[in-house]
Amino acid sequence: MDTTRRRFIGSLAAPAFIPAGSLGRGTTPPNSRINIGIIGTGNRAMFEGKHFVPIDACEVVAVCDVQETRRVEGKATFEKLYAERGKARNGIRMYNDFRELLAQRDIDAVYIVTPDHWHVPILIQTLKAGKSVHCEKPLGVSIEQDLAALRAARKYRSTPFFYGPERRSTPDARHALELVLNGRIGDVKEIYVAAPPSKAGGSASPVLPVPKGWDYDMWLGPAPEAPFCADRFGEGIFHIYDYCLGFISNWGTHPLDQLQWWADNSGLTIPVTYEGTAAFPESGLYNCATAWDLRCTYANGLVVRYMDGTTFNRRTDLPPNPLGRRNNNVTMFVGTKGTVAIAYERVATEPASLKDEVIGPEEKHLMQSPIHTERITGKGVWDYPAAAHQLAWIESMQSHKQGVHTIETAVRTDLFCQLCDLCTRTGKPVRWDEKEQTIIGNDEARKRMSRPMRAPWNKLA
């Protein structure tokens, strides 16, 4: 095992991909097939990972999880799905340690679907291994991790990077942003973003013995040591600060990624000042923001109001939301001539006729992800919208071209979340120096740009 790990660290070369013409719509020559390893086989991984099965140009060949039952279930699920579609396989390999998966020279690409605190450490090692990567959102649990991911991606940029928020691969969201970019709502005067709040609760007791077949120390990885308890897992990983920022980031990345896609094409980066308040649980294991209300201001003076969905819907002084008042996730652009609102589920405009306007060939267009041209449901695989995002990743590898996400835009979205969180946790405004990539005007927040990480996982290079 030590020999394998040394080989992984020192000598892996970037894989070569041979372009194929049509993906998921016919036969792809075997030598162009992309072999995928999936790290983390929880609910999200299995839901998203199933979308690879109908794509002829790729094959899931390995799964990795620190829980034996999960990796065994993952192996069985993929083998069953491939068999149902008449695609005989030699068997899915299983790994407990992600480094062993990365050391496999025949694995070309990796889908990272672990808890948030593992994203960046595994992402960096995957890039160093010369493999293409699709990393679930959000990226890091600290600004230091985000910037380290950016440096690594630039240093080892040999294959396309893909990021989790799949709304970029849906035609209605893309069209909605094109309406804004092409002035259909006039000048953008206000922007509102809302995401569901984290939950209070959870308990660190009773302390339980680690279940058989669970490498708990590996699960903790760079996070602080902590006793094993039931509420630390499942839903708990989204609401405990040791493993994430909570829904201000984990869920918020979806609507904020839509905002960032617009900003990247409007000559903006991220807001430079953040001010506002948040509510945090007073007891229990869960300790992420359960409510927030922030003003985030770009260098040109444009303000983004970022709130949790409950606060957003309770406010009576905000512009009308075309999606209705019961919607708890949204990216809403309010202009001088109309409004565009994008939720995870749908798009709405004011006036309603805006939604049907056609963007002309000479106007601004955002990159379009491919979509499946055939329905592939009925075999345990749902094909849209997540399948379009996975297909876009595969096609970007085949063409050696970056798709709808870049590491730069992923990091910007993540930094937005990080700065909002630090503003609320320190109780003071935060100012971001884009040139120096650091916080100014709030010493406590600047010190918290990094978090202690347990060895040997504390090397972000």
The per-residue pLDDT for range 432-454, each reduced to its tens digit, is: 999 999 999 999 999 999 999 99
Domains and CATH numbers, the chain: 2-164 (3.40.50.720), 169-201+236-367+416-447 (3.30.360.10)
Kind of pairing, strands 132-135 and 161-163? Answer: parallel
Phi/psi at 416 (5° precision): -55, -50
Residue among 38, 28, 20, 53 nearest 131 (CA) = 38
The per-residue pLDDT for range 99-147, each reduced to its tens digit, is: 999 999 999 999 999 999 999 999 999 999 999 999 999 999 999 999 9
Q: Copy the structure tokens of residue 458.
A: 């504390």
Contact between 31 and 372 (Cβ < 8 Å)? no
Q: How far apart, in whole angstroms, are the C-alpha atoms of residue 210 and residue 38?
A: 24
Q: How far apart, in whole angstroms, are the C-alpha atoms of residue 37 and residue 423?
A: 37
Task: Supply the pLDDT for residue 88.
Answer: 67
Q: How far apart, in whole angstroms, are the C-alpha atoms of residue 9 and residue 53?
A: 30
User: Residue 314 carries which side chain, given as an amino acid letter?
Assistant: R
Task: Supply the pLDDT for residue 24.
Answer: 38
Task: Supply the pLDDT for residue 7.
Answer: 31
Q: How far apart, in whole angstroms, are the C-alpha atoms of residue 154 and residue 406?
A: 11
User: What is the mean pLDDT of each successive set of 10 residues along the chain, which is 461 residues long?
Assistant: 32 30 37 90 89 90 97 95 80 96 97 97 96 96 97 85 91 96 98 97 97 97 97 93 97 97 97 98 98 98 98 94 90 98 95 97 92 50 65 90 92 98 98 97 97 95 85
Give the number of other Cβ atoms within 10 Å of residue 332's Cβ.
28
Task: Supply the pLDDT for residue 30.
Answer: 45
Q: How far apart, in whole angstroms, are the C-alpha atoms of residue 262 and residue 54?
A: 32
Task: Supply the pLDDT for residue 386.
Answer: 65
DSSP reduced 3-state for 180: helix
Q: How far apart, in whole angstroms, are the C-alpha atoms of residue 321 and residue 96?
A: 47
High-pLDDT (> 90) share of the chain, %: 77
User: Which residues are within 8 A (CB) of 290 and not within 5 positions of it... i.e. 6 or more apart?
Assistant: 197, 198, 199, 200, 279, 280, 281, 308
Helix and strand counts by DSSP (H, E) for the chain: 13, 15
Q: What is the pTM of this model?
A: 0.91
Q: Copy the structure tokens of residue 196.
A: 């569901």
Strands in 161-163's sheet, in edge-to-edge order, are 93-95, 58-64, 34-39, 109-112, 132-135, 161-163
Q: How far apart, in whole angstroms, are the C-alpha atoms of residue 272 and residue 280?
A: 24
Q: How far apart, in whole angstroms, are the C-alpha atoms of residue 135 and residue 133?
A: 6
Residue among 318, 310, 267, 273 nearest 294 (CA) = 273
